């Protein structure tokens, strides 16, 4: 008997007789006999705690973790510093075992934390309103496009080829069956090709999607792109690295109408790709059309301040097929981690993190170029990640470095077939000069 089922056999018998049936099977009388499972399911037999822990440790040990391997891979998920307080606080059962805050009187903790999260996202992005978070950065891009199409009544979208390849894939999947066409505009020297963008704009273009810093790590000129989009009465959707927003002009100031992004960098571990959070912020005009949960301030019967889920008439449990999105949950615990992260780092800490990333990434870039084994791919300014071309086989290089416990970077040829032997290298504040120097030394010593 599982320890997670507290009733004893005797209690179960008492309950059955109270109900007035002889056998537990009598409770399943509505299930036709021919579809009953005969015998036990074909699953491994149950493990005790000790056996389970050993088994899971064995699986964990099969992976090469970033404590033992130096991580220079980024491409949308980053090995940033995570303050210890985050895991302690999100491990409080009142946070992690609670449901969605439908009963506000006993959910003020989650609700106030989300309100603070929404405030922080608005500060970073320069937007008026934020939702309570979405699944991840890629689905946030897709939801932003669906919103733009609803808001403009148009059905065509232009996404940058420098937008994360997985965001573009998710966008294609989300729009495939809803009559929205996604077209892509190209890049020159690693940044959006504005003349290509301009040429592709049509009267039916609902939105222009740009990532900043883009997938190559390069900083785009959002202002110029916003002007082009707005001239065409299209919306600008910017997908941003939240750490970069400590240094870079907030996209809201530069004309973005919707700002989204992958929030993993804000205190969430890499965890082989999830769970992360997608942040989603928009201008006031779009407030009543945004997807997902939103928390608002109000008062109770005695006039005391409190927080509730609000603007719920947008949502699926009220509007059903007319809802602004089918999303039900947010990624509340990940958003809580982000809120605690932004609290811990605060106004100055986040800026320090961003500066350290920028300094170290530029140091790593110069060192790699100096070796003459790597050459420049783009000359445009970057933030914490950059592309370099290896004079040799980049697959052989990353395999060799893996043996030396270095996760060297992301091979861009996976997504950009003409970019052979180009490596995308990310450098966060966690990387030391010694680690960067070791990467450079090992990379050139064949």
Partner 1 sequence: MKTETQTIFEKSRPGKKAYSLPECDVPKTPLSELIPGNFLRDTPPELPEVSEVDAVRHFTELSKWNYGVDSGFYPLGSCTMKYNPKINEEIVRMKGFTQIHPYQSGESVQGCLEVLYKTGEMLAEITGMDKFSLQPAAGAHGELCGLMIMKAWHESRNDTVRKKIIIPDSAHGTNPASAAVAGFDVVEVKSDENGWIDLNSLRETMSSEIAGLMLTNPNTLGLFDGNILEIADIVHEKGGLLYYDGANMNAIMGITRPGDMGFDIVHLNLHKTFSTPHGGGGPGSGPVGVVEKLVPFLPKPVIEYSGKSYYLDYERPLSIGRVKSFYGNFAVVLKAYAYILSMGPEGLRQASETAVLNANYILKKLKNDYLLPYDRVCMHEVVFSAMKQKEYGVTATDIAKRLLDFGYHPPTVYFPLIVKEALMIEPTETESKETLDQFISAMKQIAKEAENDPECLKSAPHNTVVSRLDEARAARKPVLNEMSGTNN
97 touches partner 1 by CB under 8 A: yes
Cis before 50 (ω within 30): no
The footprint of partner 1 on residues 401-420 (CB under 8 A) is 402, 407, 410
Which tokens go with 361?
């990434």
Q: From residue 335 to residue 374, what is the string marking binding to partner 1 with x (rule CB under 8 A)? A: -x--xx-xxxxxxxxxxxx-xx-xxx-xx-----------
The footprint of partner 1 on residues 32-61 (CB under 8 A) is 32, 34-37, 40-49, 52-53, 55-61
Least spacing, CB of residue 13 vs partner 1, in Å: 10
Which tokens go with 66?
């970033």
Taking the least distance from each CB to partner 1, the nearer of 133 and 234 is 133
Judged by CB under 8 A, which of 147, 201, 245, 422 binds partner 1? 245
Judged by CB under 8 A, which of 70, 71, 148, 151 binds partner 1? 71
Would you tell me how many other CB atoms lie within 10 Å of the CB of residue 65? 10
Nearest one of 109, 406, 87 to 268, comparing CA atoms: 87
Alpha-carbon separation of residue 234 from 208, 217, 244, 324, 400 (angstroms): 7, 25, 25, 19, 47
Judged by CB under 8 A, which of 320, 379, 417, 418 binds partner 1? 320
Taking the least distance from each CB to partner 1, the nearer of 2 and 372 is 2
State the sign of the Cα–Cα–Cα–Cα dihedral 382, 358, 422, 266. negative
The footprint of partner 1 on residues 182-211 (CB under 8 A) is none
Nearest one of 401, 446, 441, 403 to 423, comparing CA atoms: 401
Taking the least distance from each CB to partner 1, the nearer of 193 and 221 is 221
Judged by CB under 8 A, which of 183, 198, 297, 393 binds partner 1? 297
379 touches partner 1 by CB under 8 A: no
330 touches partner 1 by CB under 8 A: yes
Unique residue bearing structure tokens 């491990």: 91
438 touches partner 1 by CB under 8 A: no
If phi > 0 it is left, if psi is from -120 to 50 it is alpha, else beta; for residue 291 that is beta
Nearest one of 383, 373, 370 to 215, comparing CA atoms: 383
Taking the least distance from each CB to partner 1, the nearer of 231 and 433 is 433
316 touches partner 1 by CB under 8 A: yes
Judged by CB under 8 A, which of 203, 304, 418, 446 binds partner 1? 304
Give the range of 149-157, 190-198, 199-207, 271-279 binding partner 1 by CB under 8 A: 271-279
Taking the least distance from each CB to partner 1, the nearer of 331 and 373 is 331
Paired with 203 in beta bridges are none
Give the DSSP H or E segment for 305. strand 305-309
177 touches partner 1 by CB under 8 A: yes
Binding residues for partner 1, how many (CB under 8 A)? 207
113 touches partner 1 by CB under 8 A: yes
Which tokens go with 40?
């036990």
3-state secondary structure of 61: helix
**Nearest 5°: phi and psi at 33?**
-55, -40
Give the range of 103-111, 192-200, 232-240, 415-423 binding partner 1 by CB under 8 A: 103-111
What gap in Å lies between CA 281 and CA 131, rounded to an integer? 6
């Amino acid at each position: 008997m599982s320890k997670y089922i507290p009733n004893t056999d005797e209690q179960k018998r008492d309950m059955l007789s109270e109900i007035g049936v002889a056998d537990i099977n009598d409770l399943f009388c509505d299930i036709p006999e021919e579809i009953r499972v005969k015998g036990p399911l074909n699953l491994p037999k149950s493990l005790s705690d000790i056996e389970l822990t050993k088994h899971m440790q064995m699986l964990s040990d099969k992976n090469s973790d970033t404590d033992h391997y130096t991580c220079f891979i980024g491409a949308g998920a980053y090995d940033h510093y995570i303050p210890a307080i985050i895991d302690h606080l999100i491990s409080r059962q009142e946070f992690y075992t609670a449901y969605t805050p439908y009963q506000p009187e006993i959910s003020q903790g989650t609700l106030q934390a989300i309100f603070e999260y929404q405030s922080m996202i608005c500060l970073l992005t320069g937007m008026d309103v934020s939702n309570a978070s979405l699944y991840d950065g890629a689905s946030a891009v897709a939801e932003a496009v669906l919103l733009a199409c609803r808001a403009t009544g148009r059905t065509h979208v232009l996404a940058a080829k420098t937008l994360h390849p997985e965001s573009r894939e998710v966008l294609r999947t989300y729009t495939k069956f809803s009559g929205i066409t996604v077209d892509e505009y190209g890049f020159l020297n690693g940044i959006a090709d504005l003349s290509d963008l301009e040429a592709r704009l049509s009267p039916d273009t609902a939105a222009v999607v740009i990532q900043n810093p883009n997938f190559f790590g390069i900083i785009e000129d959002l202002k110029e792109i916003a002007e082009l989009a707005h001239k065409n009465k299209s919306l600008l959707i910017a997908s941003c690295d939240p750490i970069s927003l400590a240094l870079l002009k907030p996209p809201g100031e530069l004309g973005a109408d919707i700002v989204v992004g992958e929030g993993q960098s804000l205190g969430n571990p890499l965890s082989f790709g999830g769970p992360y959070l997608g942040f989603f912020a928009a201008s006031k005009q779009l407030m009543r059309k945004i997807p997902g949960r939103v928390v608002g301030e109000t008062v109770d019967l005695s006039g005391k301040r409190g927080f509730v889920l609000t603007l719920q008439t947008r949502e699926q449990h009220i509007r059903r097929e007319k809802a602004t999105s089918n999303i039900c949950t947010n990624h509340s615990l990940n958003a809580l981690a982000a809120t605690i992260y932004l609290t811990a780092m605060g106004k100055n800490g986040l800026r320090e993190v961003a500066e350290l990333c920028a300094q170290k990434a530029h140091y790593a870039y110069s060192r790699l170029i100096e070796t003459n084994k790597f050459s420049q791919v783009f000359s445009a300014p970057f933030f914490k990640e950059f592309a370099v071309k290896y004079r040799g086989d980049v697959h052989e290089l990353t395999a060799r470095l893996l043996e030396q416990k270095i996760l060297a970077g992301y091979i861009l040829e996976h997504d950009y077939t003409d970019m052979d032997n180009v490596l995308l290298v990310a450098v966060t504040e966690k990387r030391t000069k010694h680690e960067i120097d070791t990467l450079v030394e090992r990379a050139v010593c064949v």
